Structure 1
Amino acid sequence: MPEGNRCGVLLVNTGTPTEPTPRAVRRYLARFLSDPRIAPMNRLGWWFVLHLFILPKRARASAEKYRAIWTAEGSPFDVAHRKIESGLQRTFDDEGLNVMVRCAMSYGEPTVLDGVRALKDAGCERLVVLPLYPQSAHSTTGAVSDGVERALRKARWNVPCDFVDNYHDDPTYIRAIAASIEHAGFQLDADDKVLFSFHSIPLADIEAGDTYELQTGASSLAVAGELGIDRNRWTIGYQCRFDKGREWLSPFTRDVLARWAEAGVGRVFFVCPNFAVDCLETLYDIEHELKPHYFDCLRKAGRTPDARSFLYVPCLDRSRAHLKVLADVLHPYLKEVRHG
């Protein structure tokens, strides 16, 4: 590629409603739950079930959850992505790279098509797409690939495109996750344990060739190695099942917490390595559902929980460590785009 040509970098994540109201949440969920990668069922039958039964109830319940985590700046998910976009842009500008960075959402705003059009209009002559899922899955990274292909067709942009499938074993990412656990107070010489909790996926996807389970295991093992802890100090759980009509990858996080409460382990450091940015599943579900569940299990086991019994390790989010991770993952694709 000739020196000086601009490259567009598109960071894509799942998305969030535009506001914490039933109407906005319903609009967002309708887009999310209509994706065949999320709900691979009979399309016509699913449409009626979704719009007549699921959305009316789920939109109201989810809106209450979103209101609990909303901030004066708006959705914490959107705020973080704006900070990541501007921070990564500054990083590449300081490095003399002729790169334009845009964030987009598979089901929220700005859309993938918005991002593609912005990069095309800016004169980018090459595109690098980085889904913000360290571990790839058919239902996440695959959905991004589908969306980018549709957006490029609609934008009528025939551009060379590199797609970063995953970065589950990237050394900078592994070090950053380990450092975040240490920063949260994890002590090597104590009885502290680490629960790596990942989003679950249907077992049918794994049987169809999805390597997500292998990647979650490899990431966890690498982070544990970076921390210097033995296998009996950490385990893996899976959360956020979409429905109960299919079999999902387990062990489930709730079951792991119940087992640990019964066994009487030390402090639990709860980390979600496949969430690049804190979202409803971390900001609400962990604080309001999984943590109380663990405390209830402790009490049933005759133990008294305290504030240090369960410690959530925030996602890398908008931190400088996260910007370094993303920059290092992208650098191999940006070798020929220095300003002339």
Structure 2
Amino acid sequence: MPAHSRCGVLLVNTGTPASPKPKAVRKYLGKFLMDKRIAPMNRACWWLIVHLCILPVRGRKSGAKYEQIWTDEGSPFTIAHEKLTYGLAAAFDEAGFGNDVVARHAMSYSSPSIDSALEELAEAGCSHVVVLPLYPQSAHSTTGSVHDGIERAMKKAGWKGTFDFIDNYHDNPTYIKALAASIRHAGFEPDSDDLLLFSFHSIPLKDIEAGDTYELQTGASSLQIASELGIDRKRWTIGYQCRFDKGREWLSPYTTEVLARWAEAGVGRVFFVCAGFAVDCLETIYDVGSELRPLYEEKAREAGKPVGDDDFVYVPCLDRSKAHAKVLFDVVSPYVKEHIDG
């Protein structure tokens, strides 16, 4: 045990199945779907629907999708978080924090669990933890779920220390500049007719009616990134993807509708950026390449518009990059410094 108190930094994201096999996918989805912030009805009824209707089908279909993005090293989502955490730790070391800071990552619905990550931080001598959910724009179903998980884990472990919980970083200047730079790097030309589509994960409208500020944050992030690029409002818009079901009203306009409209108009290249996803995952790697891009090309052809290989450009997430580690360092370091200096 270190002779002095250390500060832990815990990055938390949703998670990924242990493998693309249907059994592993069902296990992962079962945990995710039974979260009280995800379930659309009372727990007993929802449990029956999930286990008797949804998982048998979704486990097989989602498993086939995961199979297509899986790598020899395993889940790209898991690998990215491991390298990103290492990069963040290196950033603290380079900034002169030395052994005072310990960085870990955890998943809400898979491994490493929040419980195990907190246990590691406690064993490393951390009396304070800065928790950062990797959702730039907070929502009840994402950031709120992480907060629930942290409270459960700390209660279970009898946590005696303190913690800071960072709700969002949607307007952090380093985050805004990093995304703008990644869009430019992908080939976006501010002085052209290129169009920019910010696609975020949708949420149920009932969450917004309950006070969720997610929509306001997605709008603010998009506006600031566009301003950083120096483009006017006619050059960009927002869409929402990944509706879970059709039984509820979801935040729109839907990404598919925006793409169909732009394809039919046939003006400029479309640059597609998932500004709300910190790390590339099934919803970006598979959905964009295998569903959304083909949809755009199909609609363009139906409208009699020529489609070139570079007419639809996906801008990768910040993922495991040094730029992303710099963003996260900028977000969490003030909290870390306050604890260490205090």
TM range (shorter): over 0.9
Aligned length: 337
- 1:125 partner letter: S
Instruction: Answer yes or no: is the 8 Å Cα contact 2:135–2:168 preserved in 1.
Output: yes
Partner of 1:170: 172
Distance 1:53 1:61 in 2: 13
Partner of 2:305: 303
Deviation at 1:337, TM superposition (A): 5.7
Distance 2:331 2:221 in 1: 15
Deviation at 1:314, TM superposition (A): 0.1
Aligned residue runs from structure 1 range 251-270, under 5 A: 251-270=253-272
Partner of 1:41: 41
Distance 1:338 1:50 in 2: 46
Deviation at 1:328, TM superposition (A): 0.2
Distance 1:181 1:36 in 2: 36
> TM-score, normalising length from structure 2?
0.97
What is the aligned-residue identity percentage?
Answer: 66
The answer to whether 1:328 aligns with 2:330 is yes
Matched residue of 1:266: which SS? coil
Distance 1:322 1:4 in 2: 30
Instruction: Answer yes or no: is the 8 Å Cα contact 1:168–1:215 preserved in 2.
Output: yes
Instruction: Answer yes or no: is the 8 Å Cα contact 2:9–2:132 preserved in 1.
Output: yes
Matched residue of 2:11: which SS? strand
5+ residue gaps, structure 1, are: none
Cα offsets for 1:59-112 (capped at 9, x unmatched): 000000000000011000000000011111111122222110000000011011
Runs of 4+ in 1 over 3 A off after TM superposition: 336-339
Partner of 1:203: 205
- 2:116 partner letter: D
Aligned residue runs from structure 1 range 239-254, under 5 A: 239-254=241-256
Deviates more, 1:33-42 or 1:174-183: 33-42
Partner of 1:30: 30
Instruction: Answer yes or no: is the 8 Å Cα contact 1:4–1:338 preserved in 2.
Output: no
- 1:219 partner letter: S
Aligned residue runs from structure 1 range 138-157, under 5 A: 138-157=140-159
Partner of 1:231: 233
5+ residue gaps, structure 2, are: none
Query: Which of residues 271, 281, 292 in structure 1 aligns to 2:273?
Result: 271
Deviation at 1:334, TM superposition (A): 1.4
Deviation at 1:189, TM superposition (A): 1.8
Distance 1:327 1:121 in 2: 23
Deviation at 1:135, TM superposition (A): 0.2
Deviation at 1:40, TM superposition (A): 3.2
Sort the Cα spacing of 1:4 and 1:329 in 2 relative to 1 into closer, same or farther, 3 A. Answer: farther
Distance 2:161 2:209 in 1: 34
> TM-score, normalising length from structure 1?
0.97
Distance 2:37 2:306 in 1: 43
Matched residue of 1:130: which SS? strand
Instruction: Answer yes or no: is the 8 Å Cα contact 2:128–2:339 preserved in 1.
Output: no
Distance 1:163 1:147 in 2: 12
Partner of 1:288: 290
